[in-house]
Amino acid sequence: MIGLCRNILTVGFLFAFLLIYSQQYTVQLFNTDNGLPQNSVKDIIKDKYGFIWLTTENGIVRYDGLNFFVRKNFPLNSQRFTYFYGDSKKDSIFTAGDYGKTVLIHQKVPKVIKSIKRFPTIIVKDNINYHLCISNYSYSPSPGVYFFMDFKKGRYFITQNSFVYEDFLSKSQVTLDVKPLYKNDPNAFTIGDILFYIDRNTKKVKKIEEGKITGSYDLPLVADVRSKIFWNRTNGQGFILNNDILYRCIYNDGTLKLLKLVQLDHISESNLMSIYYDEKYKKLYIGSSTDGLKIVSLTDFTSSKKSTPKSSAVFYAIQPYNDSCVINPAGEIYNRNGLVKSKNFEKNISYFLNFDKQGNIVTRREQTLFVYNKNSDFTDFQSISTGEDTVKDFFFANGKYYVLAAKQKKGNTEFTGTLSIYEDLPYKSLKKKYLFANEPTKIILTEKGDILVGTIKGLYKISVNHNKIYDLTGKNELSIRDIVYTTDGNLWVTTLGRGFYLIKNNQLIKMPSDPEGNLLSPHTLLEDQDGYFWIPTNNGLYKIRENMLLKYVQNRNLKLNYYRYSKEAGFNTNEFNGGSNVNGNKLKNGDFVLPSLNGLVFFNPLKVKSYYPTDMCIERALFDDKERLFTNTLMLSQENRRVELFIDVPYYANPDNIVIETKLDDNGTGKWMSVGKDRKFLLNNLGYGIHVLTIRMLVSDKQEYVFKKIKIIIPPFFYQTLWFKLFIIFLLLFLLYLSVRWRMSFHKKKNRELEEIIRLRTRTLSETVENLEITQTKLGKEIEQQKKLIGTITHDITTPLKFIALTSKEALDYQEMSLHRTERILNSIYKSSNQLYNFTKTLKEYADIYNEYRTDETELYSFYDLVEEKKILFDEIAANHNTAIVNNVDKELMIQISKNILAVIIHNLMDNSVKYTRNGNIIITGSDEQEAVILEITDTGIGMDEHKIEYYTKLQENIENEKLLLQKYGMGLHLILQLLQMLESKIIIRRNETKGTSFQLILKKS
């Protein structure tokens, strides 16, 4: 379980800073209020990766200088832990759990394992339990508790009355003549892998090797009853606490000595349990059984001020007084330890202080200079009135005084400026004078003899040889704070609100600022012997190598990183002061002194270290509300929309100086992005694929980085895989192919349909044309037949009409008519009229049948039923002639021949048979052949003569050309032949062998 993880800078500094002027340290307090799971810190150790580990009664804690990570949900009955043991260099740190279980810390991860026999915490010998003695808190000191210590070649057993060494190989034992316990604690401790024994009688410390005393050291402080020893064999460290002074025990080259670290007020009252000293970062980690964790930082900076609480601690202008002291305009002299003495100057302006060429101290009050005589130890002084001028700065060079002064405009709050050059003392024997439109701030003389003058709105160069003033700022306004000459001949300018610049070839080259923008208002630049610039600001002290700034001038794409010192390093405040004629000093003893809002800050720049991290661990990620561990490769899914990547860095100095940048370089165009102070990198909505996250961290003042790469693998969904895309492509191509084929098929089908429609229409049209032609032919034939018929009718009807007419005329011509003549004439008229009537009646039936044939739509019907209908019609007439009509047509025979036409044909044939048959039979038979229906009507009548049969046979074969002899043979069979032609059928007429006639109709089915 990840415990409380907090940023100690953002919680409002929930710890107390204690500052003692004679000693340089700060204290950070941690407890359950700001990071710890419990207020009892039993043991402290540092692993091979640089992380600090703590045991508490509520879990194990890892500390990286910024965050506490609490692990306490182990599968144990209790989460209480005491001491560490094992070997941190081999990445094997143990702490005992319950019921024979052990927690192993390996690769920065604690986990529960079974107890290892090679590292026992309790051994049984002679029915006595011996407990591992690995630190000053190996076991709660109480009567009856015995201890053992393991070394490479043997083991020590410590009881109340004995101190025994046992060799591992020979199993031989040596009993040492020493007192084993003191207040139930062993009188022994280790430094590294060396065992020491405290001889309280002789006040000496003795070295023991393989059961023998091999050395003795005169260290009465260790044997002092008021001293308490803290040691930890796993860390290889030992400490002595006496009278709130903490000493470190150091064994080197056969010598054991004590080194005073720090005096801590009331530390003896803190129920100390464990101590660890981080030599790299100069930090003491002190664990208490009740007060949590104290981190004591031994600083390289000292803030100096008066010891009286109500005295002012605000400083501006200062000047070196001697090798180790500075003086301010009030005449107060300070060194690292505070106020040394005071010359009790008058109440002068705090922003101006200088020395003249004789070493006299010059101060200012309004428009008056006060010169304190060096020969009188600065007790005597003289005043010099400057008239309307307010002196801002001056220096003496080349036998001349250069005085920079401001003068208030009349009726205005603004100032103008003057630079006056005097041959001798200021404001005497004026040689030259230069005027400026704005208030001046700083003056400096270059190696070429030119003068640089800064004002609140610009920077100017005065060429004394040419007596000209050049504006170096151009159209840009710059409020100049200081102008600094460095040992390499470069000129640097600090401004108010616009950063600092390098003057090169009469041009101002702006330097980049820090991320927080504090370097936009630097007060001054101090250069040390190693080529570093120390830059005080209103929020911290910054440091950078000058050559890195010069590299930036050559390559503007170079990223610069400034090292920041804040008040945790030993200041009382982060706000330094400027705006004076001098804003920082270098003392001959090597110290730099800077004025601040709360004291003077002393430090030796060559002794102040820049702390950079050396390595980082990227192995934790948070997604799906769970923390996951990984190594080099992080497996995610596309459903992990938000992933927090933790960058763990063991770093115990100012976290502002950790520069971590990341670049998600998928296509070579990624840009470096800064990681926040919480050291978390957020991954949002990464697409599928393999992503490479590159992390770099600044590790030196030379802008050097260490790099790490994390491979992030996000599998695609099935529809994002290559095979699926290929499948989709093939599917689309296949669908396109099918679409094209379907389109082509559709068009082909449409073409076929169109062709079929055209063909059908063509065929229909052809059939129509053909039908029209047939119809036309038929009509032509009909017309021709009708012409014949009309011609024959006309020819045949003329004779009876003419005969009737002549007979009628004959009757009219005779006035007297005999009965015989009258009877003959009337008989002739009757016969002619009757003949004409029958002829015209037959003609009408023909016309009616023909019209019906044109519109006849015959359905399937029974041939037998049709014959039966006609039979019933003639049965009575036939019975009068004593004739029988027999219907032998097949009752199952169904035909589809035009019913109207066939009915007329059958009617006429039966009519003829009935008419010419007496006392006989008329037999009608019908059968179905393959392509025709056969109807045969056979009678036993008088029969048809051969001439008629021959006539009708020839007429049927050449009906279109033969002349119709209607008057001679009547209309009946002519009509039948016409109707049979319409049905494309035939009739065969035969005389029977006995008597009568047979009429055989061969009827086409369709």
- Which residue, 261, 292, 231, is CA-closest to 83? 231
- Using CA atoms, how far apart are residues 510 and 180, in angstroms rounded to an integer? 70
Amino acid at 173: Q
Q: Is-contact 494 508, C-beta < 8 A?
A: no
Q: How far apart are CA 623 and CA 734, in angstroms?
A: 42
- Please tell me whether the overall predicted TM-score, pTM, comes out greater than 0.85 for this model: no
The average confidence (pLDDT) of the chain is 86
8 Å CB contact between 997 and 988 = no
The arithmetic mean of pLDDT across residues 23-40, rounded, is 88
In terms of pLDDT, which residue wins out, 829 or 281? 281
SS (HEC) of 34-89: CCCCCCCEEEEEECCCCCEEEEEECEEEEECCCCEEEECCCCCCCCCCCCEEEECC
Joined together, the tokens standing for residue 759 give 């063909």
* CB contact set of 556 (below 8 Å; sequence gap of 6+): none
Does pLDDT of 104 surpass 70? yes
Residue 380 token pair: 């005597």
Mean pLDDT of 905-927: 87
Q: Are 677 and 655 in contact (CB under 8 A)?
A: yes
Q: How does strand 430-436 pair with strand 642-648?
A: unpaired
In this predicted structure, the answer to whether residue 20 has a pLDDT above a threshold of 50 is: no
**Which tens digit of pLDDT belongs to each residue from 447-478?**
888 999 999 999 999 998 888 999 999 888 99
How far is the CA of 973 from the CAs of 797, 873, 923, 976, in angstroms?
Answer: 18, 20, 19, 5
- Spell out the SS3 assignment of 230-258: EEECCCCEEEEEECCEEEEEEEECCEEEE
pLDDT at residue 302 greater than cutoff 80: yes
Residue 872: pLDDT over 90: no
Strands (E), 641-791: 642-648, 660-664, 673-674, 680-684, 689-698, 705-714
Query: Would you say residue 328 has pLDDT above 90?
Result: yes
Sign of CA dihedral 765, 766, 770, 773: positive
Look at residue 533 in the predicted model and tell me its pLDDT. Answer: 97
Q: Is the Cβ–Cβ distance between 232 and 135 less than 8 Å?
A: yes
Q: Which of 954, 915, 959 is nearest to 937 (CA)?
A: 915
pLDDT at 803: 63
The rounded distance, in Å, linking the Cα atoms of 938 and 951 is 20
Cβ–Cβ under 8 Å, residues 389 and 352:
no
User: Checking DSSP bridges between strand 237-242 and strand 228-232, what pairing results, if any?
Assistant: antiparallel
**Res. 438: pLDDT tops 70:** yes
Lowest-pLDDT range of 299-303, 421-425, 725-729, 966-970:
966-970
Over residues 745-767, mean pLDDT: 80
Confidence of residue 6 (pLDDT cuts 50, 70, 90): very low
Non-local CB neighbours of 836 within 8 Å, separated by 6+ positions: 797, 800, 801, 804
- Residue 917 has φ and ψ, to the nearest 5°, of -120, 125
- Residue 362, pLDDT > 60, answer yes
pLDDT grade, residue 335 (50/70/90)?
A: very high
Q: How far apart are CA 398 and CA 413, in angstroms?
A: 35
Q: What is the pLDDT of residue 787?
A: 63
Write the pLDDT tens digit of every residue in 576-596. 999 999 999 999 999 999 999
pLDDT computed for residue 980 by the predictor: 82
The pLDDT assigned to 12 comes to 31
Distance CA(91)–CA(110), nearest Å, equals 11
Q: Which of 129, 180, 173, 181 is nearest to 155 (CA)?
A: 173
Question: Rounded to whole angstroms, how far apart are CA atoms 286 and 244?
Answer: 13
Rounded mean pLDDT, 693-708:
92
Lowest mean per-residue pLDDT among 484-498, 528-542, 937-951: 937-951
Residues 3-32 have a mean pLDDT of 51
Q: Determine the Cα–Cα distance for residues 679 and 681; give it in Å rounded to an integer.
A: 7
Q: Are 225 and 200 in contact (CB under 8 A)?
A: yes
Tokens of residue 264, six digits? 């801590």
Helices (H), 115-255: 220-223
Q: Looking at residue 185, what is its pLDDT?
A: 84
pLDDT higher at 759 or 321: 321
Question: Is residue 938 over pLDDT 80?
Answer: yes
Residue 61 has pLDDT above 60, yes or no: yes
Bin 44: left if φ > 0, else alpha if -120 < ψ < 50, else beta: beta
- Asked whether residue 795 carries a pLDDT value surpassing 50, the answer given is no
> What is the Cα–Cα distance from 287 to 272, expressed in whole angstroms?
6
**Whole-number percent of the chain with pLDDT over 90:** 49
pLDDT at 900: 78
Residue in the block written with tokens 């080099």: 632
Name the pairing type of β-strands 921-928 and 884-889. Answer: parallel
Q: Does residue 794 register a pLDDT over 90?
A: no
For 944-979, the pLDDT digits (tens) are 888 888 888 888 887 765 555 554 565 677 778 877
| Cα(747)–Cα(443) distance, integer angstroms | 96
Name the 3-class secondary structure at 601: strand
For the chain, the residue count is: 1006
623: pLDDT strictly greater than 80 = yes
- How many CB atoms lie under 10 A from the CB of residue 811? 16
Q: How many angstroms from the chain centroid is the CA of residue 411? A: 64
How would residue 280 be classed by pLDDT, with cut points 50, 70 and 90? very high
CB–CB of 237/227 below 8 Å? no
Residue 17 has pLDDT above 70, yes or no: no
What confidence category does residue 376 fall into, taking pLDDT thresholds of 50, 70 and 90? Answer: very high
State yes or no: pLDDT of 821 exceeds 60. yes
Q: Please report the pLDDT score of residue 800 as a whole number.
A: 60
Gap between the Cα atoms of 652 and 646, Å rounded: 17
Lowest mean pLDDT among 49-63, 210-224, 446-460, 889-903: 889-903
Query: According to the model, what pLDDT value does residue 799 have?
Result: 53
Q: Please tell me the predicted confidence (pLDDT) of residue 866.
A: 87
Reading the block at residue 891, the tokens are 């009752």
pLDDT at res. 546: 95
- Reported in sequence order, the residue ranges of 233-380 that DSSP labels E, i.e. its strands, are 237-242, 245-252, 255-263, 272-278, 283-288, 293-298, 301-304, 319-320, 326-327, 332-335, 338-342, 354-355, 361-365, 368-372
